[in-house]
Amino acid sequence: MVVRTARRGANAGGQFYGCQNYPDCHGTLPLPASPLRFTPDVAFEHSLETGVAGGSARATYERRLELHRGRLRDRRPEILASGAVILVFGVIWAMSGQSLGPIPPVFGVYTALLAILWTIAQFVRPQHVRAWETGAVGEERTAEALRALPAGWIVLHDRRIPRSRANIDHVVIGPPGVFLIDSKSYAGQLTIDGGELRVNGRRVKWIDGLSWQRAIVDGLLADAGFSSRTVPVLCVHRADLPWLRRDVQGVAIRSGKDLVPWLLKQPVTFEAAAVAGVSRAIKQGLPPVSGR
């Protein structure tokens, strides 16, 4: 049985337990007024985890890293030759003691140093490559934290959004309902300015992405006959979070350390059958990008 909402009749808007395979089954049960007590059955002897956390991000990082290394292999002689020419020019200029027009010879030293720094920079992984590794590490840290969930919870990692190149980092289904978790790993100060998030003063669009993901998952669940709405969560690693306000536009903001304690404090809304039914619907609608 799963929690449903009456759409018409005397009890319109009220919730009740209904068959999961409606309309083939029309059985119903009243929803108890008191909070549910979740008791996992044999199907939930252990918490279940599917997918590979950070799998697609790490695959993208490795692909981009290999492309970067390939370009370096092709351009290595050109880079070294250019750096050497500029270095030698700077040294000769500085040692000659001669000015180049209005520019004094001391700038030859600066030229030589810049040549060395420029050459080294060509062999460093660029930011657009390193960002994918940082993202993968953030998802892996969130997955590690979620392994502390007790029996009765299902964790789905790295789920593909149909007809899109985007993915959802984590979907967690448990007694309190469905949670969409987006992992971020940023060093610095996270602040809330009105309805906007900022990291070190720079506006980030994390809320927009989560709102779009929530609409997709809510639509998927509605199509499968479930009335439950998802709860979006930002799990931010490394950043200093605000002391007081920890939500923006309905999105909860948690650190990796307090994510699981916060999840376990949420009120119970699902029985074990509902957790199983919702997780099956999400697995079918959001296949894993990587892993099983």
Q: In terms of pLDDT, which residue wins out, 227 or 167?
A: 167
Mean pLDDT of the chain: 82
Looking at residue 14, its pLDDT comes to: 66
Looking at residue 223, its pLDDT comes to: 87
Region of poorest pLDDT, from 1-5, 10-14, 178-182, 211-215: 1-5
Over residues 38-58, the mean pLDDT reads 61
Distance of CA 175 to CAs 126, 152, 153, 179, 215, Å?
Answer: 43, 7, 7, 11, 21
Contact in structure between 249 and 230 (CB atoms under 8 Å):
no
Looking at residue 101, its pLDDT comes to: 86
Looking at residue 116, its pLDDT comes to: 93
Q: In terms of pLDDT, which residue wins out, 8 or 255?
A: 255
Over residues 118-143, the mean pLDDT reads 86
Looking at residue 1, its pLDDT comes to: 46
Looking at residue 136, its pLDDT comes to: 86
Question: Of 250, 241, 158, nearest to 208 (Cα)?
Answer: 250
What SS3 class is residue 36? coil
Phi, psi of 38 (to 5 degrees): -85, 125
202-217 residue pLDDT tens:
888 888 888 889 999 9
